[in-house]
Structure 1
């Protein structure tokens, strides 16, 4: 049953659920109304029985006729609005004229014997009709006190309740049908935005057209879903454009070193094929050029691999690392690449949460830029103080109109296109710093040159390593090597 329900369209399920909910609610209200009406009618009947009194003349006449014959006899025929009869202590009855005889119950006998003042209960007539009976004591002139039962038939109440039940059933049926139709209409109307969203998704899946947008009206859940879909398609389109741009830029950057590498290798191969040896100096220069171009290609491929990862992903586990130690290692590599430069550093301890290899690569890229653009015999100053790493060079600097583009992928200043590099170094720096929760900026330095500033939030200082336990003397003696 559940599988069949789940197999229905969403509109049908909503309409069916609405109709079911309305049916349950209407049924509960109808039953409550019927029970309330039944209780109220019975209460009104009981109240009228308590307030009604039998006519003394009719009771006296009935008693006289009953004494002449049998006390259990009927004193008259026909029917009246209420049935009146006299009950004795032995359970006998004397029915007044135009009344219907009612069966005597134990409650009536208890009143006749003086055990209770009155009794209100249900009973039946001799022909099986349900009645409501009120029995009490009554004083008659010349006779004394007698026990009189006044009964009212219940068929009037039952008939009214039956008519009410039929009316409530009809109204419930009409309400359920109307609720089902209204639910179906509401489902169709409410799911129109979902239909548009479905059509848009199917169109994107079929045509890969990410320019599709869904009109958004209101602030409800459907509007939020449509707005999220529009944002998703916009992000996908932007990602696809960046991917296409990355491929185009990578192809452009790879073409130059590959062309030069191919030319050099062809020269070396032609020399071997023709048997005409190149001069030793030219051959050494070609081999050095090939080696440099291969190194450049390897660096470019590494940068592309680094940038191909999602921005939220990290190449390794994040841990608390000493930024001053990583900066010191990056400085040693920078000094090897610029031995003619004076690189001064002041590194104060600072710990950050980052991936060590990625952070070291970012610092190496920043220092490489400073070494690359510094003039021969120039100086580079490095300062790490309270999480702010400053690298200042004395090169030509970056024009102000080019500063907003320095962290873009493959962007290179026109004045730096002749220098080695791929234009990806600062992009990797910005990405790594953002992943570590920091920020990076480049700005002109006073007196010329450029200042690179990296700010990284601090992390709790890791506890020192516990000291090694002392080695027992016996172990040292066992490990001693005897001299010949």
Structure 2
């Protein structure tokens, strides 16, 4: 049953739930209303029975007991037919003594005999019963205390006064039918209203579902859903629009990365292919290349392969999304990483002088990525420094500064230095892919820091990496 319910469309489930909820509410109200009306009608009948419970003359009761008859025999005259049932019940018999002016005979049960035995005229007992013809009646039973023939008190007799329930039951039946009809109409109307409300309320969801299906079918990420209001559907629509915008931006960046990578790879691959074809043609034709030229070709091939490998490594680094786990962040000594990077930079620039002033500073970062970033900054300083110049490196209070004495970066080119594949016109003849500073900026930002490049006083370029941290390692992570 639950599986069948879950298989229904959402709007059908909502309409069904609304109909069930209304049905339960209407049923509860209807039943309560019926019982309240029933109680009021019975209270009115009970009040009528109390008004008929006038004190009886002991002689009348004596006469009724001496001339005890199970039916209202002996009534004379042509007056109106009596409405009430009037009779006596004895504690030792279930046979009533019926008044001649009774509308009929009411069956005596054990509760009536118990009232007679209790002999307490202050207690009024009401119950529903039937007469000898099967008609339903409302019965009042109260104990009667009378003087017997010998002067003693008779305590085993009860007076029974009853009123027919035909009209009352007819009224209650009509009310039940009316409530049933109203409830049915209410449930059907609630179901129809629930279906209409579900359709109206789910229109934004239908639009959202249609947009998702369109994107899945066509991969068109330009689709946007109109947003109205501030409800949950509007929030969902905004989230979908933000998601498609982010996906479109990511796809555009991916396409741009592929295009830029293809452009950058074309040059070293073309040069490498040309050199290899020259070497292969020399072997095929038997025309030997002069040793000096061959050595130059081999050196060029080696340099191009090195440049190609570095470019592929940079592309792999940039192709990883920011959200991908890049390894656990650890507390690392930035001064030690800077010293290791300096050692590599000295090997690449043996004709340069390096001046370093490093004070301890501990940061939370991925060690390998941070070292690569520092190496890239130092490589740029080595690449643009003229022979015999000095590269100054300093680490103070979390600011790692690398200053060279090269030609510097023109002011109009500074906004582009961290863009992928961007290279200064003056640097395009030098080795490199234009990805190094992009990788540096990305790594520093992931570590919670920032990087800036600008002209240095007296010429050259000054790069500053700022990373949050402390001069001493945390006690838990020495």
Band the TM-score falls in, shorter-chain normalisation: 0.7 to 0.9
Q: How does the TM-score come out when normalised to structure 1?
A: 0.86
Match of 2:124 in 1: 119
How do residues 431-446 of structure 1 correspond to structure 2 at under 5 angstroms? 431-446=442-457
SS of 1:375's partner is coil
The answer to whether the Cα contact below 8 Å between 1:442 and 1:450 also exists between their aligned partners in 2 is yes
Q: For 2:338 and 2:51, how far apart are their aligned partners in 1?
A: 105
The answer to whether the Cα contact below 8 Å between 1:66 and 1:75 also exists between their aligned partners in 2 is no
Match of 2:82 in 1: 80
Residues 142 and 277 of structure 1, relative CA distance in 2, 3 Å threshold: closer
Correspondence for 2:370 among 336, 348, 359: 359
SS of 1:345's partner is strand
| 1:382 CA drift (Å) | 1.7
| 1:82 CA drift (Å) | 2.8
Over residues 220-271 of structure 1, what are the superposed CA-to-partner deviations in whole Å (9 max), with x where a residue is unaligned? Answer: 2222222222112211111111111111111111111122222222333333
Q: Which is worse superposed, 201-210 or 42-51?
A: 42-51
Q: Which is worse superposed, 204-213 or 140-149?
A: 140-149
Q: For 1:321 and 1:389, how far apart are their aligned partners in 2?
A: 14
Match of 1:7 in 2: 7
The answer to whether the Cα contact below 8 Å between 1:62 and 1:75 also exists between their aligned partners in 2 is no
The answer to whether the Cα contact below 8 Å between 2:331 and 2:477 also exists between their aligned partners in 1 is no
Q: For 1:55 and 1:239, how far apart are their aligned partners in 2?
A: 100
How do residues 250-261 of structure 1 correspond to structure 2 at under 5 angstroms? 250-261=261-272
The answer to whether the Cα contact below 8 Å between 1:79 and 1:100 also exists between their aligned partners in 2 is no
| 1:44 CA drift (Å) | 3.9
Q: For 2:215 and 2:372, how far apart are their aligned partners in 1?
A: 40
SS of 1:334's partner is helix
Does 1:104 find its partner at 2:108? yes
Match of 1:232 in 2: 243
RMSD (CA atoms): 2.9
Match of 2:67 in 1: 69
Q: For 1:311 and 1:391, how far apart are their aligned partners in 2?
A: 26
The answer to whether the Cα contact below 8 Å between 1:409 and 1:423 also exists between their aligned partners in 2 is yes
The answer to whether the Cα contact below 8 Å between 2:418 and 2:437 also exists between their aligned partners in 1 is yes
SS of 1:382's partner is strand
| 1:331 CA drift (Å) | 0.9
Q: How does the TM-score come out when normalised to structure 2?
A: 0.87
Q: For 1:202 and 1:415, how far apart are their aligned partners in 2?
A: 50
Does 1:430 find its partner at 2:441? yes
SS of 2:448's partner is coil
How do residues 187-336 of structure 1 correspond to structure 2 at under 5 angstroms? 187-336=198-347
The answer to whether the Cα contact below 8 Å between 2:352 and 2:391 also exists between their aligned partners in 1 is yes
Match of 1:472 in 2: none
Q: For 1:44 and 1:396, how far apart are their aligned partners in 2?
A: 111
SS of 1:189's partner is helix
| 1:175 CA drift (Å) | 1.0
Q: Which runs of 5+ in 1 are unaligned?
A: 466-484
SS of 2:124's partner is strand
The answer to whether the Cα contact below 8 Å between 2:385 and 2:406 also exists between their aligned partners in 1 is yes
How do residues 462-473 of structure 1 correspond to structure 2 at under 5 angstroms? none
Q: Which runs of 5+ in 2 are unaligned?
A: none
